[in-house]
Amino acid sequence: MAESSTSNNAAERIGYITRVQSFSACHRLHSIHLSDEENKKVFGKCNNPNGHGHNYKVEVTVRGKIDRLTGMVMNLTDLKKYIEKVIMTPLDHRNLDKDVPYFASVASTTENVAVYIWDNMAKILPPNLLYEIKIYETDNNIVVYRGE
* Domains of the chain with CATH codes: 2-145 (3.30.479.10)
Residue 108 to residues 3, 21, 32, 70, 81, Cα–Cα distance (Å) = 53, 19, 11, 39, 24
Q: What is the pLDDT of residues 44-87, one digit of tens each?
A: 999 999 999 999 999 999 999 999 999 999 999 999 999 999 99
Q: At what angle do helices 110-124 and 76-83 cross, to 10 degrees?
A: 130
**Catalytic residue numbers, as ranges:** 46, 93, 137
pLDDT attached to residue 12 = 85
pTM of the model: 0.90
Examine the pLDDT at 127 and tell me if it is beyond 80.
yes
